[in-house]
Structure 1
Amino acid sequence: MTTIHTRIQDAVIPDDDDVVLAVDRVSKKFCRDLHRSLLYGVQDITSDLLGGRRHTEKLRSGEFWALNNVSFQLRRGEALGLVGANGAGKSTLLRIISGLIKPDTGSVMVEGRVAPLIALGAGFNPILTGRENIYANMSILGLSTREIKRRFDDVVDFAEIWDAIDAPVQSYSSGMAARLGFACAVHIEPDVLLIDEVLSVGDVKFKVKCHQRLGQLRENGTAFVLVSHNPHSVLNVCNTSVYLAKGRLLAAGETESIIRQYEEDLCLSGTEMATGRLVLPAKPPGESTGVDITALCFKDEQGDLLTAPATGEPAFLSIECNVCEPVEAANVSCQITALAGEYDKVLYLTTASDNEFIHLPSGHVEIQMQMPYLGLKPGVYSAKISVRQGVRSFDIVKSFRFTVKASKNVSRCLFYQPRSWKTIHHSASFKSH
């Protein structure tokens, strides 16, 4: 089955038979003012009814480009990642591909059946039962009644809702509705699957089942478009990626290089990254608690400033302080959070947990956390630094943003693992057990 929607102007039809999705010069504009948006909608409908020509390529007062001249192709069995900050146009692009909205210029060609996993269970009627919603939902996605009957048991088995299949969906928990929505979408065996952050819902068991099913679909030739703010998910799933920013396509290509560019752009928006050193303003008289953090940075083994430390290379975190009076048994803590993905806490280190309470003499003091190698994978991070003594808190810096760059091929790993390789020669009489 071939579905071609929203063919506008002179679209380019790909010659490659393996291409299942072709997005050609697609643009979409919106208006932030509700009343003006309604007026423009009436004008556009009137123009269509009278056979007039819309000037879709031009912005009217109050409008902005949510997408602007975006093009790419997706082949059978490929997985494409869409990355970018909030408001980049990722969800708008998925809605256009799925046919929910039309672009103002350009075209989208889809070869086969599309299944959007954009909001699991969002299309269910809460008054209807799970059984009735399966038939309604899967028929909308393109299946005949005979095909739905043939796959019905598999859908309910996957969703694990036999006990509630004849109860109204409004009585389902959010997890049950999510499982049912995912089961309906993946069991139509689509040619193109659109996934927008939905894999972050559900319990661990459900997530494992989802990934296993997606793997089976891809082996059978289903192509994926994945939107996720978790770079590790995109790296593990997608061969190639597209980087969007404010509606424009900034870069497209191999996923690892696209993710690296995206994360470095995120970090460079911080002013402290211009020099790699965060200098904190002096505290007004009377606000000091005795120890004030004045600067944060990374240094190499020679004591030179590191603008961005590298995975697997030596890095010394430098914490400069002004100390009014000597402090015995100070406890310095460092909590590191990944800014990409779900803002996961990846490291929490303290001198107390290492049984190394620090003596701080009066004057200007530099505290170093010396790492013989940096175990963080390439990405963008924020460090929260504090200096305490028992229950007393001297000073705290809530966010020191920094980028970890790649010096080795570890972008697909969760962390850098130090290692060595060795060959052991066993005698002929050696037997393995």
Structure 2
Amino acid sequence: MTTELSDREITVEPEDSEVVISVERLSKKFCRNLRRSLLYGVQDITTELLGRKRTSTRLRSQEFWALKNVSFQLRRGEALGLVGSNGAGKSTLLRIISGLINPDTGSVKIRGRLAPLIALGAGFNPILTGRENIYANMSILGLSTKEIKAKFDEVVDFAEIWDAIDAPVQNYSSGMAARLGFACAVHTDPDILLIDEVLAVGDIKFKMKCHRKLAKLRENGTAFVLVSHNSHSILNICNTAIYLAKGQLITSGETEAVVRKYEEDLCLSGMEKATGPLILPKKSPEESFGLDIISVCFKDEQGNILDTPMSGEPTSLCVECFAHKYIDNANVGILVTSLSGESDRVLYLTSASDNEILTIAPGSTEIQIQMPYCCLIPGVYSAKIYIRSGVCSFDIVESFRFTVQADKTISRCLFYQPRTWKVIKK
């Protein structure tokens, strides 16, 4: 497959026979204004008809880079995940690889049969039946009528639509159309399979079937490019990944490291990183109720202040206070809320519920909540901290904001689970 373009070309046959996709310095720009976009299109066509070379490396008014200088390679049998927020350029990249749109600069080299599955029911004619669409769709993907007949029953069995196979596709639900589209694509024996979010539809049983089929295809040498906002799908299927943000390639490599970087950026997006201790102003005697919280911070095992605690590492949450009197049976409470997602409560601890009787003498005191491991995943959090005795409340910190980081792979987790492993022979 070779497609000639104005400033570059898509060719086949990468030098390494194991490389099935080679993308080099790929860039694509779009225009935000429809009328101006049409004008630019006419200008570009006119320039090409006159035999001139149009400039594709600079932006014109209201244009932006959907992709900018993206490079990677995909080898036979590999599964590559594309992660990034909406508008990162993931679907644009898949559409360029599949040949639906042309890039402005760079090169794409394809080796082998490619099956794109980048939209629900893409390529289906709504007024045709499921049976007719199977023949039409699979013939477009490169199969002969004889080959389609041989695979027909297997496709319909996989899609589980025998009852509706002779009904128009326009009467199918989105899940039925997705199942049929996936079944057609994976039964063409592709060398490369492009998948864009279609694994997000269907019930759990069908999703498990899809994952088993993908694993079998990969064992036979099929390479995948998978786009999904579900990190678990990327982690379970892909051995390598690419992280895109605003058309730029941020990082690539081993899947768990790339997903961890993406999730950390996603958690911190739109908010300032909270670091260091919280120092509170001194209260006047008239303002105090007998005990004042002076500062809140995290410390390591050596007593050093931590700017940011680390997931899975020992840490202590330290609440320094000044008591004006002797306080017996003090109760310290901590309510931790995640600011990275939907402001969900993630942790609530009180000394009273742990049957800890705290006694605070007059003067300065530091109350430590010692944690053998920080169980929070990377993100930004807010802690509400109070000290009371019975119904008497002494002081409260409404929001101690802090950031948790990680140097371990915990992308599949909601929290870090302390654990030990043993092998016991019986």
**TM-score of the aligned structures, taking structure 1 as reference length:** 0.77
Describe how 1:78-97 pairs up with structure 2 within 5 A: 78-97=78-97
The 3-state SS of whatever aligns with 1:273 is coil
Q: How far did residue 40 of structure 1 move?
A: 0.6
Offset of 1:295 from its aligned partner? 8.2
Q: Which sections of structure 1, spanning at least 5 residues, go unmatched?
A: 282-291, 427-433
CA 1:386–1:19 in 2, change beyond 3 Å: closer, same or farther?
same
Indicate the residue corresponding to 1:430 in structure 2: none
Residue type of the partner of 2:407?
Answer: A
Query: What is the Cα deviation at residue 303 of structure 1?
Result: 5.0
Match of 1:431 in 2: none
Q: Within 5 A, what are the aligned runs for 1:211-250?
A: 211-250=211-250
The separation in 2 between residues aligned to 1:352 and 1:174, in whole angstroms, is 52
Change (3 A) 1:69 1:420: closer
* Percentage of matched positions with identical amino acids: 60
How far residue 20 of structure 1 moved from its aligned partner, in angstroms, is 0.6
Residue equivalent to 2:99: 99
Question: Cα offset for 1:63?
Answer: 1.2
Equivalent pair of 1:118/1:195 in contact (CA under 8 Å): yes
Preserved contact between residue 138 and residue 184 of structure 1 (Cα < 8 Å): yes
Contact 2:274 2:403 in 1 (8 A): no
The alpha carbon displacement at 1:358 in A equals: 9.9
Partner of 1:70: 70
By how many angstroms is 1:252 displaced?
2.8
The secondary structure found in structure 2 opposite 1:257 is helix
The answer to whether the Cα contact below 8 Å between 1:338 and 1:346 also exists between their aligned partners in 2 is: no
Supply the distance in 1 between the matched residues of 2:126 and 2:344 (Cα, whole angstroms).
37
Deviation at 1:186, TM superposition (A): 1.3
CA shift digits 1:23-77 (9 cap, x unpaired): 1221111111111111111222233344332222222122121111222111100
Give the number of equivalent residue pairs: 411
Aligned partner of 1:124: which letter? F
Displacement of 1:365 in angstroms is 10
Matching of residues 340-355 of structure 1 within 5 Å: 347=346, 349=348, 351=350
Confirm or deny: 8 A CA contact 2:121 2:178 kept in the other structure. Answer: yes
CA-based RMSD: 4.4
Tell me the CA shift for residue 317 of structure 1: 4.7
2:140 is the alignment partner of 1:140: yes
Q: 1:333 to 1:259 in 2, by over 3 A?
A: same
Which residues in structure 2 correspond to 1:28-427 (within 5 Å)?
A: 28-266=28-266, 272-273=272-273, 275-276=275-276, 298-317=298-317, 332-336=334-338, 347=346, 349=348, 351=350, 370-376=370-376, 380-383=378-381, 385=383, 402-407=403-408, 410-411=409-410, 414=413, 415-421=416-422, 424=425
Q: Deviations over 1:71-95 (max 9, x none)?
A: 2111100112223333222221111
**Range moving further from structure 2, 267-276 or 15-24:** 267-276
Distance verdict in 2 for CA 1:31–1:295, change over 3 Å:
farther
Deviations 1:98-149 (A, max 9, x none): 1111001112111112222222224333322222222222222222222222
CA contact (8 A) 1:268 1:274 kept: no
On the 8 A contact 1:380/1:401 being kept in 2, the answer is no
**Partner of 2:2 in structure 1?**
4
Structure 2: how far apart are the matches of 1:322 and 1:206? 60
**What is the SS of the residue equivalent to 1:43?**
helix
Aligned partner of 1:418: which letter? Answer: R
Q: State the distance in 1 between where 2:123 and 2:49 align.
A: 30
Q: 1:273 to 1:227 in 2, by over 3 A?
A: same
- The structural deviation recorded for 1:188 is 1.4
